[in-house]
Amino acid sequence: MASSLYSFIIPLAIAFIFVTPPTSTSKISLNHEREETEPSFRIMLKRVDAGKNLTTSERIRRALQRDRKRLQMFKTMTKLSSSGIEAPVFPGPGEFLMQLAIGTPPQYYPAIMDTGSDLIWTQCSPCVQCFSQPTPVFDPSKSDSFESLSCSSKFCQDLSSACIGNCYYTYAYGDSSFTIGYMATETFAFNGSGSPVSVQNIAFGCGQFDQGTFTNCSGLVGMGRGPLSLPSQLPVSTFSYCLTSTDSSNDSTLYLGPSPYELPQGTPVTSTLVKNTYQPSFYYFTLTGISVGATRLDIPSDGFAIGKNGTNGIIIDSGTTLTYIPSNYYDMAKDEFVRQTKLSPFPNSTSLIGLDCYELPQSPSTVQFPILVFHFDGGDLMVKDYLITGSYSNYELVCLAMGSSDTLGISIFGNIMQVNKYIVYDLEREVLTFIPTNCNGK
C-alpha cells in the first residue's frame, strides 16, 4: 500500500501548539503599521489524539463529526450571504489548538487556531456562563497590561456589530455556538526564532457569556483576512505552515512572518488569492481544474469561480478535514478513480461510514492509485494524500477523503490534502504558494 494512504485509525489533523513559558523575552509594541523588518515566530504543533486509546470507528466518527459541525456553520454563513443578510456568523471550532501566554505576568491557555474567522478571544473571569476548559479562566484583574477598549477604539469600530456604551461584541458560529463579551488589549507571548517574543497591544475579546462545541480550549485565535485577526494585528505580511503525516512522530510547524529557516527545495506552485466581499475572512484561491492521474476532468476553467452574491468559489481551510467540491465534479472524480483502479464501490458506505469507500483486493499492493492534480493559475499541484484506508465488518476498504459541497455553497480544500506541503499565505502579494516537501523531516 502506498505510503501516502491514511488509515482509519489515525488521529486526523488535530494539534496543540505549545509555547514555552518565557524566562526572558523581547518585546514588540504594536502601532498597527507594517514595519520594515518583520519578526518571525516558529510554533510547533502536536496532534491531540496521539496516544489516545481509541478504536478505528471512534477515530473516524470523531473526525467526521467535527467536519459535520463545521460544515453546518459554512452552510449557515453562505445561506445568509446569498440572501443579502448581514450577520456576524463564522465557521467556528476548527482542528488545531494553539497555546498562548497572555497578560503580565503571563497566564496560559489553549485556543483554536482558525483560518476561517478573525476575532481573537478567550473566556474571562468573572464569567456569567462559560463552557468547560482545561485551564483556569483568564483573570484580567491579575494582569498589569490589560486594558479594556471604548467605542472610539479602531478595533471596536472594526467589529461587525454596532457599539453601544462599552465595546461589547457578539460572535455566533452557525451551530448555536457563540461568545459574548467585551474588547480589550493585552500582551501575548509567542516563541520566536530565538528567545520567546512578547507582543503588546493585541486586541482580543474577553468572553463572559459563551456556549457551544468548543472542546479542549478556552477560546479562538482568528487567522482570517479581517483587521482583527492575528496576522492583521502582527507586523507580518505572511504566515505559513508545514503539516506532517499522521504516522510521523515529528511535530508540524506554523510560522508567523517569514520563515527563519531555509525554504524547501521543491518546485513552488502558486495560486492567486481572491477576495470575496461577501465573505471577507476566507482565503479563496484560484482553481481552474482537476485531473485524476493523466485524465483531466471536464470542469470549466471558471468552475470554481466566486459567483453571484458571493456564493461558490473555493477556500483553503485548516479547520476542515476533508476536501469538498460540487457533486457533479466529485462524481466525475469518483468515476475516473474507479475506472483507473478497477475497484468496486462498497455498498452504502456513505451512510455506514460517511465516506465513499471501495473494497480492496486480497493483495492491495497490486492496485495502482492515481495522483490527483489540482490545476492553479500558477502551476499544477500533485496531491497523493487523498485516501483513507481501514476495515469495516471484515472488509478492507479504501475511501476518498472528499465529499460534495452542494449544500454548503462553497468548496473547501481540507487539511488532509495539505499534508507534506509547505504552504505560504502571502498577504501582501495576494499569492498562495505550495511547495511539496517532506514535512516529516522538519
Among positive and negative, which fits the CA dihedral 114, 116, 119, 121?
Answer: negative
Distance of CA 309 to the CA centre of its chain: 24
- Look up residue 412 and give its three cell numbers: 473547501
Q: Which residues are catalytic?
A: 114, 317
**What single DSSP character describes residue 310?**
G
Pairing between β-strand 15-17 and β-strand 41-46 as defined by DSSP bridges? antiparallel
DSSP codes of every residue in 81-105: HHTT----B-----SEEEEEEETTT
> CB under 8 Å to 162, separation ≥6 — which residues?
none
Q: Any alpha helices (H) in 261-420, and if so which ranges? A: 327-341, 349-352
Class of residue 162 by CB neighbours under 10 A (exposed 0-12, middle 13-18, buried 19+): exposed
Distance of alpha carbon 101 from alpha carbon 439, whole angstroms: 26
DSSP label at residue 285: E
Helix/strand/coil for 392: strand
